Structure 1
């Protein structure tokens, strides 16, 4: 159900000059061959700020030593080094073949990763309901909407829909589509961004929602019991469930190129929502803190993102004292450097363990499963 679209490819070299010429040649050849490719070029200084709008990154051989760093910083992109023979000869035909091979391999790897989180069972022996779970994730480039249907605890159906922004995601249409796949859905669970209280989206500016009774509207339209959870909270809950050795877990999400992230905290397997669901909403204090530059500028670089994440985590560490912080921050390449920065403020014996995760979907759907089970037990 993924939208068909032109594959946008960004070429990158030291200054952007040689790749600009190659990009021009590739665009001309793609047009002649009716290929759905669109090429552009940039210098490696501007790569992070421009990569968001592209599906694939091709770096020139002269900066091949930076390939590993770029891959880590851009985990949602296919980042490859152009073979020297192709770049030196500007061989467009062979380059198209190289691109097709790389995209095919990347899609296969993505399918394998998706199969890992499709194993998230709804381990709730007291209930045999059929549950529809819909989760939204934002990776800095697009909105990915994951759809799971559980029947007697097993994943019966899964799909993914990709949209450019939240305005293009029509949840009611997606629910209608999902309900057409399986009969007899007993519960709908939505894991979405925003401040959520008792099924009402208190605040979600990206979608223009404020005090919107989402639960009520869905139940009125589809006549199916519905519940909502913040997606960051679901990830925190899933990690805590899979790692019961930790008493207090905080998950921090810092989307690629974005100043505002979010946090979710679980204490002794219990999710902390706070009054009116405000827990973890760092947007209320982060802009008022002191930074070395504008937040929007800092969010475009590794060093700047470290500064943002440090300032976002310090209040949490000081007030809640988690024993582990789970971090999703694609632009941060050096986790040890981040730890050193935080350690300049926090005593050594109070420093939490900090781990970085790349694939959050297993934790997201584990958290949704746990939340659904709790909801079913409370409402039986």
Structure 2
């Protein structure tokens, strides 16, 4: 029936009216595109009835929504399509790149910031610019993607780069600043964003230094927030810790069924997976998950039991920040104690603390860690 459901689903999609989007379909109906000036929505029908949804912001080039699932029921597929179309309405609503223009006091950059905003609106560019004095830079910079330093404080570039390690920090050339050359600034920002994107695409996973014996294929999932979206990164490892499958799902909300879809897809490609590990936001106490923003994640039963009963595999669920601390600790052999502090912009903070080679869980995986 999955074959029939997939054909019906493709025909059903083509009958749907999606306001403000044009539709394009290839000859064999394996790819359907909805597109406008803000977004390109791609729906691909793969072998084994695996369906992919991908939404790309055409202004920034970023993939803002991505998931895949295997067709099981029409009801589930239609629900996912409606989630996608709801999200499509909001792509391009807000600028995707926030720029902070900084000088010694903020006065000389305010006019330049105003001219940049006028130009980005006129040119339909996804940039919004604000001005700030250097004294406030390190308090507000976390809310911005790019920091531009005016020529009078260009000597502070090295210090700013050292403190704002995950931000793009650039010096504005004096001739550009003097002429308020908005076009040159936008070119500088665009080129720097492209370089950063290429560098992030080439990151090599940290090696695991601990001597851990793995006899079978393992599936690892990491759930985390990034701006307004939730990402589920997942990998399949073989017994030699080589990565066999490396993918990611991006959605505004994630629920238990989304996690099950990912596990189903991974097991479809690698049926011999024998262990599943999940790192998730929230408090994990004896297999129960609480205080998390994931829909359907807090169940009356132990979540580990729910998933174990479904897949008949050993499943480990742990806090995401603890997993990050253990992951980094496992990749090095220089220190036996460390603290990993995580402070996302729009969510609660967390800490993963290892003392003398042992991860501290605290009472009920919540309290008692801070004393260390």
Please list the CA deviations of residues 57-89 of structure 1 after superposition, one character each: whole Å capped at 9, or x if unmatched: 222121212222222222222121122221111
> Which residue number in structure 2 is paired with residue 173 of structure 1?
258
Q: Distance in 2 between matches of 1:34 and 1:177?
A: 36
Alignment match of 2:364 (pick from 268, 276, 279)? 276
3-state SS of 2:204 partner: helix
In terms of Rg, which structure is larger? 2
3-state SS of 1:180 partner: helix
Contact 1:236 1:266 in 2 (8 A): no
Alignment match of 1:111 (pick from 182, 193, 201)? 201
Task: Write out aligned runs for 1:1-380 (5 A).
Answer: 2-3=63-64, 6-112=96-202, 114-117=203-206, 120=208, 124-129=212-217, 131-137=218-224, 145-152=232-239, 153-160=241-248, 168-170=253-255, 172-174=257-259, 176-177=261-262, 179-181=264-266, 182-184=269-271, 185-201=273-289, 203-204=290-291, 213-219=302-308, 224-244=313-333, 246=335, 248-253=336-341, 255=343, 260-267=349-356, 269-278=357-366, 281-282=369-370, 315-316=371-372
Q: Distance in 1 between matches of 2:163 and 2:334?
A: 29
User: 1:191 deviation in Å?
Assistant: 1.6
User: 1:174 deviation in Å?
Assistant: 4.8
Q: Distance in 2 between matches of 1:30 and 1:220?
A: 53
Which has the higher relative contact order, 1 or 2, with Cα contacts under 8 A spaced 6 or more apart? 1
**Higher helix proportion, which one?**
1
Residues 75 and 89 of structure 1: CA distance in aligned 2, closer, same or farther (over 3 Å) = same
Residues 9 and 219 of structure 1: CA distance in aligned 2, closer, same or farther (over 3 Å) = farther
| Structure 1: 5+ residue stretches without partners | 283-314, 317-380
> Which residue number in structure 2 is paired with residue 304 of structure 1?
none
**Higher strand proportion, which one?**
2
When the two chains are superposed, the root-mean-square deviation of aligned CA atoms in Å is: 3.6
Residues 79 and 244 of structure 1: CA distance in aligned 2, closer, same or farther (over 3 Å) = closer
Please list the CA deviations of residues 165-220 of structure 1 after superposition, one character each: whole Å capped at 9, or x if unmatched: xx73446425524642533243321122333223212x425659767633234345
Residues 41 and 214 of structure 1: CA distance in aligned 2, closer, same or farther (over 3 Å) = farther
| Structure 2: 5+ residue stretches without partners | 1-53, 55-62, 66-91
Residues 17 and 64 of structure 1: CA distance in aligned 2, closer, same or farther (over 3 Å) = same
Please list the CA deviations of residues 17-52 of structure 1 after superposition, one character each: whole Å capped at 9, or x if unmatched: 332222222222222222222222222233333323
Q: Distance in 1 between matches of 2:153 and 2:270?
A: 54
Residues 55 and 160 of structure 1: CA distance in aligned 2, closer, same or farther (over 3 Å) = farther
Please list the CA deviations of residues 120-171 of structure 1 after superposition, one character each: whole Å capped at 9, or x if unmatched: 5997545122x221224568997664322213331112245667xxx73446
Q: Distance in 2 between matches of 1:123 and 1:66?
A: 44
3-state SS of 1:127 partner: coil
Q: Distance in 1 between matches of 2:122 and 2:363?
A: 60
Q: TM-score, normalised by structure 2?
A: 0.61
> Which residue number in structure 2 is paired with residue 297 of structure 1?
none
